[in-house]
């Protein structure tokens, strides 16, 4: 996590001091890289939280794991390269995200009862 934070700071510093015509402005490609690294770090943070939950509890926290999976798929959808996107990949990602949502819904209903 610390190295990831350092990586983001380094990327941001390199984008700020780059020899662009407009100093101190970050272009869209650099922002895309920032967000993708930040989202990967978010998934890693959630994984650490779920590992500590697994170690401290007898049962498996399925809702927490489903949240991590949804964040990971959302990360892929947000950072996807639209130039290399095909219909099969889009349908596959939507099917996985839909199945995670349905599973989360049923586990939420089960915990309410």
pLDDT, tens digit, for every residue of 5-14? 888 888 888 8
Looking at residue 44, its pLDDT comes to 81
pLDDT at position 108 over 90 = no
Kindly state the DSSP code that residue 21 receives in the 8-state scheme: S
Range from 5-14, 18-27, 33-42 carrying the lowest mean pLDDT:
18-27
pLDDT score recorded for residue 95: 92
Q: How many domains does the chain have?
A: 1
Domain extent for 24: 2-112
Mean pLDDT of the chain: 81
Which whole number is the average pLDDT over 62-76? 81
pLDDT tier for residue 52 given thresholds of 50, 70 and 90 = confident
Whether the pLDDT of residue 111 is over 70: the answer is: no
CA distance 96 to 76: 12
Dist CA 24 CA 36 (whole Å): 21
Q: What is the pTM of this model?
A: 0.64
Q: Alpha carbon 83 to chain centroid distance?
A: 20
């Amino acid at each position: 996590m610390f190295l990831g934070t350092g990586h983001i700071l380094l990327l941001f510093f390199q984008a700020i001091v780059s020899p662009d015509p407009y100093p101190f402005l970050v272009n869209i490609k650099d922002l895309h890289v920032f967000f993708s690294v930040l989202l990967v770090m978010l998934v890693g943070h959630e994984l650490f939280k779920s590992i500590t939950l697994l170690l401290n509890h007898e049962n498996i926290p399925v809702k927490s794991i489903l949240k991590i999976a949804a964040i990971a798929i959302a990360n892929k959808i947000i950072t996807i390269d639209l130039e290399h996107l095909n219909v099969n990949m889009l349908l596959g990602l939507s099917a996985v995200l839909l199945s995670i949502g349905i599973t989360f819904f049923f586990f939420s209903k089960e915990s309410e009862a």
